[in-house]
Chain A
Amino acid sequence: MKTRLLISAFAFTLAQPVLAEGQNPMATGSAMAWQCAPCHGTNGQEFLEAMPPLAGMSVEQFTKAMLAYREGTRPSVIMDRVARGFTDAEIDAMAVWFEKQPLKQWENTSLTEANAAHQSAQTQATGGQK
């Protein structure tokens, strides 16, 4: 048990990029993705409104869109402002998380399905390490 804890602590240290003084470690993909829900649906699973669903969107599509908003090369209403709040690594972490979410309306998704999708995204994000 003790050995396992030590190993995961070590892995965690390795995974963290070197931070400048006063800079926060990155928030998790899910913590950032949750902040998108008021407009894009719980877990990005809103398929009935003008804002596009994010669930199941490919990493490439998500990343390209966010970078274009951030750099001002894609016209937008508010997404340019939102995108300017995120670094490349943060955008990537959200992209990985959203890609694993079910392509269905949130109201028709069970808690079990949601948990499984979350676990799958976590596994992807950590390269199989817990």
Chain B
Amino acid sequence: MSQLENKTFDQKITRRDLIKIFGATAVAASGIFGASSQAFAKSAAHIVVLGGGVGGATFAKYLRFADPDVKITIIEQDAEYITCLRSNDVIAGMHTLDELTFNLDTIKNKYNVNVVIDKVVGADFDKKTVSTAKGERFSYDKLVVSPGIDFKFEDYEGYDAELAEGEFPHAYKAGPQTLKLREQLLAMPQGGTAIIATPQNPFRCPPGPYERASFFAEYFKKHNPTAKLLVLDPKDRFTKDVPFKKAWERLYGYKSDNSLIEWVSGSEGGRVVRLDTANMMVETDGDDFKADLINIIPNQRAGVLAQKLGLTNASGWCPIERNTMESSLHKEVYVLGDSSIADAMPKSGFSANSQAKVCAQAIADTLKGEHPGTAIYSNVCYSLAGENYGVSIAAVYEVRDGLIQPKGESAGVSEITDKKAQPILEAVYQKNWQREFVKDVFS
């Protein structure tokens, strides 16, 4: 990714390049030489998708539903994709990484999508081409970018990507760091202290750090009952904080003298500014905290690819047209998922899946020369506050006054009730949802 260059390609696209891209028959049959781009788009438009994660894979599948003829290519650097969603379960030992690992075989075979495992190194928005590390060049009619997130290590003195790969994993992209954090949790001394430092808004999976905190507490309750977790937060509120804190009270003695979790808000000096690896200590606005395990989940911005392609604004995220997900900065380039600025929608896998469907229909409509239909988005996030205790947030969204906003009276979090079955049911639904969701994305 660091090799990425935002380069303009001066070379002409030769017939051979086109044959390489579309195959000899396509070039011969469509007779695109000399035809207007409009005519070409109508006969066999080529949509190139950068990133084969939740956004990219869902997009390709649903574009095939919306348009049986369009040519679709996904360029993804990894042959296998590990979902970030449910990776907290791996830390708690409820899932293995293998169970969260998927590939694009069904997308390729069932939905007739060209899958290229390669790294994108540049794009030319004027000539509408993308080039890769292996020296391939792809021409597109529409480019769809779904690049996930990048971390702002520079917000923390003494922390960097290398430390994250070593003894201080953030584990906020699923992979080896997830396993490392599990190993560290299991190796904690009896009665030890762990720190989870949560990021500033906006960030991927807003309930993620708090679900992770819950799992640490549940692990302590079972295996290390005198240990303690400190959640250091730069914010005074977090998503689903009311049902999360109620669950912590019910399960982990939150607010009592023997609480397994202590949450330090931004106002109380919870914002971490420095990591001292030698002394196993973090410094916040208010104090220094020593611990046996330190998990900093850094502040975030749009994925590196989005930055390098010039799709981000001063906020570090990608502005989009709300009805189509088309970049506000570059025509015919679309941004999906965590990287996009989607207003009230959280940066979740569910949101990326939802946005991918809206974008697929909008592109199909546009290619037919029709005005894209009304966008409708949704998000449902189930989190676990314990293995058998779920909390949820849900909303349906529409575009209103130029922003993506909750539609009707749909937005809301789990009600606090005395019904014992409710959080258990939410946990059951969470597990059902995870299995179903990945099928909607990858199969």
A residues at B contact (CB < 8 Å): 22, 24-28, 31-32, 34-35, 37-42, 46, 49-51, 77-78, 81-87, 106-107, 111, 114-115, 118
Contacts and interface: CB of A to CB of B under 8 A. Distances in A.
Interface string B106-118: 0000110000000
Contacts of B326: none
B345 interface: no
28 contacts: A24-B374, A24-B400, A25-B374, A28-B361, A31-B357, A31-B358, A31-B373, A35-B354, A38-B353, A38-B380, A40-B436, A42-B439, A42-B440, A49-B435, A50-B428, A51-B433, A77-B426, A81-B395, A82-B396, A82-B410, A83-B410, A84-B408, A85-B395, A85-B408, A86-B407, A87-B408, A106-B443, A111-B110
Interface in B383-427: 392, 394-401, 406-412, 414, 422, 425-426
Interface string B204-218: 000000000000000
B68 A24 contact: no
B439 A41 contact: yes
A114 to B, nearest CB: 7
Interface string B358-388: 1001000000000001111110100000000
A104 to B, nearest CB: 14
A118 B63 CA distance: 14
B396 A39 contact: no
A125 to B, nearest CB: 13
B151 interface: no
Contact of A50 (B394, B397, B414, B432): B432
Contact of B411 (A51, A81, A111, A114): A81
Contact of B433 (A24, A31, A38, A111): A38
B248 to A, nearest CB: 20
B380 A77 contact: no
A28 B65 CA distance: 14
10 cross-chain pairs, A with B, having the tightest CB-CB distances, nearest first: A85-B396, A85-B410, A49-B432, A27-B376, A84-B409, A35-B378, A27-B374, A81-B394, A85-B407, A85-B408
Nearest to A32: B376
A39 B410 contact: no
B437 interface: yes
A84 B398 CA distance: 13
Nearest to B358: A31
A87 B425 CA distance: 27
Interface in B107-149: 110-111
B350 interface: yes
A39 B392 CA distance: 13
B353 to A, nearest CB: 6
Contact of A82 (B354, B394, B400, B435): B394
B252 interface: no
Contacts of B397: 85
A22 B122 CA distance: 40
Given A24-B399, A37-B440, A78-B380, A31 B361 contact: yes
B395 A49 contact: no
A77 B399 CA distance: 26
Nearest to B421: A77
Given A107-B439, A114-B65, A77 B408 contact: no
B26 to A, nearest CB: 20
Contacts of A34: 62, 357
Contacts of B373: 25, 27-28, 31
Nearest to A83: B410
Contacts of A28: 361, 373-374
B392 A106 contact: no
Given A78-B429, A85-B406, 8 more contacts: A35-B376, A42-B439, A49-B436, A77-B425, A77-B429, A82-B378, A85-B410, A107-B443
Nearest to A105: B439
A84 B410 CA distance: 5
Nearest to B353: A38
A19 to B, nearest CB: 11
A95 to B, nearest CB: 15
Contacts of A87: 408
Contacts of A46: 436, 439
B436 A51 contact: yes
A38 B440 contact: yes
Contacts of A38: 350, 353-354, 380, 433, 436-437, 440
Contacts of A77: 392, 414, 422, 425-426, 429
B32 to A, nearest CB: 24
B170 interface: no
Most buried by B among A22, A31, A86, A87: A31
B64 interface: yes
Nearest to B411: A81
Nearest to B435: A49
A46 B412 CA distance: 25
A39 B433 contact: yes
A111 B392 contact: no
A91 to B, nearest CB: 11
Contacts of B377: 35
